[in-house]
A = this chain, B = another copy of it.
Amino acid sequence: MKNVIGIDIGGTNIRAAVVNSDGEILSRTKVKSNARDGIKSLLKNLEEVISGFSDFHADCTGIGIPGIIDQKNGVLTQAPNITGVKNFPLTKEIKQITSLKNIIVENDANAAALGEFWMGSGSESSSLLMLTLGTGLGGGIVLKGELWRGEDGMAGEIGHIIIDPSGPLCNCGNNGCFESFVSAEAVRRVVGNNNELIDYTSGIHPDDIPEKIMQLAKEGNAEAVKIWDEIGRNLGIGITSLVNLLNVDSIVIGGGLSNAWEFFENSMLGEIKKRALAGPRERLTIYPAGLGDDAGILGCAYLALKELKVFN
């Protein structure tokens, strides 16, 4: 049995764990990442996390980070959520400040997809797409157990397939991206200035609006139920494109908005039934994510174990 470390670096927190080759978490920790204070501050916190695991013999460490990774060279090419990062030699710097010899770095959304593939809702699957519905829509593509990273580690931008070319402007500059129809941003846009749903005079934080709409749906509010119906239909449209193109067996939906699963499931499945080709549709199962915040940690551990050739 090998032990490895899986580390999930986020904009807010660093979550990390020692994980064995059965996927059992032997020890875990969580500290602030201070990503906004820059990469040096983040690395200091990372060192603290790693030194906390020094009693465990870990042969390899997998690190997930929100950004674009040049995996061959261990370089963090871009990371919009970490201040001051461009072509940062992440692996080299981490080796310098810690005792780690064997490090593998990966995009955080890819790591979460691998986590769900290994130990989560996709553990029976052969090929899987992960959709993380948060502020935006993150994604990861696992084909026959391997991440498809693309030529530059930029594949899996599931949020930026086009759903409707004349749809709303996306943060990426394009119109009608999948992300604009199924993210927290989409919920806020659909709610709009509907004061019957949201009492804006209460000073509600925009981030809390999706949660509020979930509560209202639970209470049976018809307008709120309609909003999740619409999110579900749009999920169905995007998933139709994905499954017709890739004929994967599993799609896993995670992120904060996936808590509204019971409210968007029916309209999502209805839209897919109406639109997708019969063959790929019949093969597909869609699952809510199973690992919550542990998906990234476990995906990174999986990458580390693969690096050690624990799996064939």
Contact = CB atoms under 8 A, between A and B. Distances in A.
Interface in A237-253: 237-238, 240-242, 244-249
Nearest to A172: B277
B237 A152 contact: no
A82 interface: no
A173 B220 CA distance: 34
A266 interface: no
Given A276-B174, A280-B152, A164 B165 contact: yes
A208 interface: no
B247 A155 contact: yes
Interface stretch (A34-42, A143-151, A185-193): A143-151
A274 B244 CA distance: 25
A68 B247 contact: no
A74 to B, nearest CB: 18
A275 to B, nearest CB: 4
A18 interface: no
A151 B126 contact: yes
A232 interface: no
A283 interface: yes
A140 to B, nearest CB: 11
A38 B161 CA distance: 40
Contacts of A175: 275
B247 A160 contact: no
A119 to B, nearest CB: 21
